[in-house]
Amino acid sequence: MARLLRLLAGTAALLLAASPAMAADPVEVGVNWGSQLSHPLMPTSVVKMLKANGISRVKMFDADPWPVGALLESGIEVMLGIPNDMLETMNSYGNAQDWVKENVTAYGDKLKLKYVAVGNEPFLKAYNGSFMKTTYPALKNVQKALDEAGVGSKVKAVVPLNADVYVSPDDKPSSGAFRPDINDLMTDMVKFLHDHGAPFVVNIYPFLSLYQSDDFPFEFAFFDGGKNIQDKGGISYSNVFDANYDTLVNALKKAGVPSLEVIVGEAGWPTDGNKNANLKLAQRFYDGLLEKLSKNEGTPVRPGKMEVYLFGLFDEDMKSIAPGNFERHWGIFTYDGKPKFPMDLTGQGHDKLLSPVPDVEYLPHQWCVFDDGAKDKSKLPGNIQYACASGDCTALGYGCSCNGLDEKSNISYAFNMYFQMQDQDVRACDFDGLAKITDKNASARGCLFPIQVLSAGGRPTPGLGWAAPLALAVMLFV
């Protein structure tokens, strides 16, 4: 029945999409549209929301025909993605040709495609070199396939990279250089990008600088702070975003491509899952970033207009939490398409709530909660661990939005998240007789116990971190 309802909802949304949508004046900033949600929203409704907010650029992490189809003839500029697990496949030129035929030329002019992202942060240190040998050949094959398909002059192959591909021995941007272990590879790759008129795409996260070091100056993560660092030549930096960006610019100079265009493929601030991940700080970060972009001031070493994609559009409850519980809370919109906080995408400071995703339908108003009348509670720890492993308990940690719950509510939250992610299947609210379904809203102490949305999308495999479910389960009883 749930699947039938999702299909009916999808059909209804497609019919509604045929009616014209109110569109705001376009804004310069782009957004990342991720797909690691247990209940993805209807793409046609998402595109309506994008247009209503004037968002004219989207970056994706794959080439799923479902959301891509909704972008056809929308006028929205698109960056499609080839996931890391396909890089080896793209080392065959024939496969690269097939991919371009199926995902680029098949759409013709209906898709306003500008970039194809070959991999995503493939040289991340955490990958231990897994994609070191396959990324550059894949990049060359995809660009060659684009060229031979007659679209290479307007569609460029790029490789979005994490900021950890470059370093500065003395923490000064002027000393920026590519990591010694990948310097030769990066030098070859940036020269290829330069020769083919493609930009360098980098992901810059001031939040992660703060998260990864207790000694990092808090105010330096934002654009209105008082902390300054001095570099050579009298250059001063008041925020880590500019300092990070110019570290890359100096690395590009050393690699022989000083004028290579740079695009910030991801920049954002999470709103839960860590003591510094909250609505107030996220709004502060975005207000500062958007104001900076509106002024076209650039950075001390690279002044002028910058192209930036915000990360991300929605919270994604299936992302890996190995980097931290905040990974599932990067969205400027909630899982059900509601704006989290006021913001002005034009950077003029006229903050207001963005237009939400329209036509969102929900599962029935019911929750799965802990039954404290259950006789045998000996299996409680194992069931909590299971619920958190297959659900999402990231809001329960220290300093998070649901940190203030009592023990009973903690357990109920874990059970309910699993229940909702399983489409409220009655079998998902048993837990060896320790749970029950209720129509009374279980939200408590400022903590939202969500009801999931109706979705026509399939459910991806959960992205768990090492030992995360066990740690969360233990946390509930501390």
Q: According to CATH, what is the number of the domain 29-353? A: 3.20.20.80
Q: Does residue 223 have a pLDDT over 90?
A: yes
pLDDT average, residue stretch 254-280: 98
Q: Residue 426 burial by CB count (10 A; 0-12/13-18/19+): exposed, middle or buried?
A: exposed
Query: Residue 277 pLDDT more than 60?
Result: yes
DSSP conformation class of 220: G
- Which one is catalytic: 28, 73, 102, 121? 121
Query: Mean pLDDT score of the chain, rounded to an integer?
Result: 91
User: Given the DSSP bridges, would you call strands 177-178 and 166-167 parallel, antiparallel or unpaired?
Assistant: antiparallel
Per-residue confidence (pLDDT) for residue 251, from 0 to 100: 98
Residue-wise pLDDT for 240-249, tens only, equals 999 999 999 9
Residue 26's pLDDT is 74
Residue type, 252: L
Proportion of the chain above pLDDT 70, given as a percent: 90
- Structure confidence at residue 68 (pLDDT): 98
Q: What is the pLDDT of residues 205-214, one digit of tens each?
A: 999 999 999 8
Residue 474 scores a pLDDT above 50: no
- The structural domains of the chain, with segments of one domain joined by +, span 29-353, 367-438
The answer to whether residues 310 and 29 touch, using CB atoms and an 8 Å cutoff, is yes
pLDDT given at position 262: 98
Q: What are phi and psi of 138, to 5 degrees?
A: -65, -45
pLDDT of residue 25: 74
CA distances from 46 to 67, 71, 384 (A): 9, 10, 34
Question: Tens digits of per-residue pLDDT, 38-71?
Answer: 999 999 999 999 999 999 999 999 999 999 999 9
Closest to 164 measured CA to CA, from 248, 268, 254: 248
**What is the per-residue pLDDT for 415?**
98
26 against 128, higher pLDDT: 128
Task: With H, G, I as helix, E, B as strand and everything else as coil, classify residue 277.
Answer: strand
Handedness of CA 146, 151, 154, 155 (dihedral sign): negative
With cut-offs at 50, 70 and 90, classify the pLDDT of residue 23. low
Q: What is the pLDDT of residue 22?
A: 59
Of the ranges 62-76, 114-128, 251-265, 455-469, which one carries the lowest mean pLDDT score?
Answer: 455-469
Return the residue matching tokens 């360098």: 200
Both tokens of 334, joined, read 């909630």
Q: What is the mean pLDDT of residues 271-281?
A: 97
The predicted model gives 408-421 an average pLDDT of 97
Residue 292: the pLDDT is 96
Distance CA 366, CA 441 (A): 7
Q: How far apart are CA 341 and CA 436, in angstroms?
A: 34
**Active-site residue 261, yes or no?**
no
Q: List pLDDT tens digits, range 132-154.
A: 999 999 999 999 999 999 999 99
Residue-level pLDDT at 457: 64
Does residue 228 register a pLDDT over 50? yes
- Tell me the percentage of the chain whose pLDDT exceeds 90: 87
Quick check: 349 pLDDT over 80?
yes
| 396 three-state secondary structure | helix
SS3 content of the chain, % helix, strand, coil (to 5): 40, 15, 45
Catalytic residue among 266, 297, 316, 407: 266
Give me 284's structure tokens.
């502060």
Is 327 designated active site? no
Within its chain, how far is the Cα of 191 from the centroid? 28
- Give the other-Cβ count within 10 Å of 215's Cβ: 4
Phi, psi of 162 (to 5 degrees): -75, 155
Q: For residues 394 and 439, what is the distance between their CA atoms, to the nearest angstrom? A: 24
CA–CA gap between residue 230 and residue 237 (Å, rounded): 6
Q: Is 25 helix (H, G, I), strand (E, B) or coil?
A: coil
Distance between CA atoms of 289 and 300, rounded to whole angstroms? 15
- Mean pLDDT computed over 296-311: 97
